[in-house]
Chain A
Amino acid sequence: AQSVAQPEDQVNVAEGNPLTVKCTYSVSGNPYLFWYVQYPNRGLQFLLKYITGDNLVKGSYGFEAEFNKSQTSFHLKKPSALVSDSALYFCAVRDPANYGGATNKLIFGTGTLLAVQP
């Protein structure tokens, strides 16, 4: 069965330091991978996605993610964290069994709370 794992419930980092939020996936085919961020009392905002091509994907707010097929990972990174980056981050994979368009279902990880200290 398809699944996404975010092994860390919370990541703490000091402002100005690099941050990494981990994500691994398990799917039967080639994955389409996404990162979303949820700020307090706000909806899910799209950060970036990997569909094909360059394994390093750049997204909004200075975030980037690297697709590693051999390790089945798609870790989110940022070179220098800001206090305003503090939020809940979700990794998600598009269900490859339905690439034909029968559903737009995303399979989500359980989320990682990023806390950036001043």
Chain B
Amino acid sequence: EAQVTQNPRYLITVTGKKLTVTCSQNMNHEYMSWYRQDPGLGLRQIYYSMNVEVTDKGDVPEGYKVSRKEKRNFPLILESPSPNQTSLYFCASSGQGAGNTIYFGEGSWLTVV
């Protein structure tokens, strides 16, 4: 079954404690990205990756890091989380071509206290 898998699904953490949200896809997609969803704002792109070792900033990259060492994995790293990073996070992937559907994971609820 084609899927995008994120972990953890739910996390409560404290300000400043580094955390990583993992993302893995089994569709051999070149493109992967991270979004955050906030009430009244829809989804906004944080970072994206065109392929292994190729990453770039999206619209709201501050406070986040990513890496793409393998094609299937695209972890999101919060080096020093702050309360304004409390949000619902989605990983996404798609194949090449603008008409390709983007597939999303089930989301990771992150609360920073």
Contact = CB atoms under 8 A, between A and B. Distances in A.
Contacts, number: 71
B96 A101 contact: yes
A69 interface: no
B43 A103 contact: no
Contacts of B98: 32, 94, 96, 98-99, 101
B94 A104 contact: yes
Contacts of A94: 98-99
Size class of the contact patch on chain B = 20 to 34
Size class of the contact patch on chain A = 20 to 34
A39 to B, nearest CB: 10
Contact of A43 (B41, B44, B106): B106
Contacts of A106: 43, 45, 102
A44 to B, nearest CB: 4
A105 B101 contact: no
Given A45-B104, A103-B45, A105-B48, 11 more contacts: A4-B42, A32-B98, A32-B99, A44-B107, A46-B101, A46-B102, A51-B99, A96-B98, A101-B97, A102-B56, A104-B100
15 contacts: A32-B98, A44-B43, A44-B107, A90-B42, A94-B99, A101-B50, A101-B96, A103-B58, A104-B33, A104-B94, A104-B100, A105-B58, A108-B42, A108-B44, A109-B42
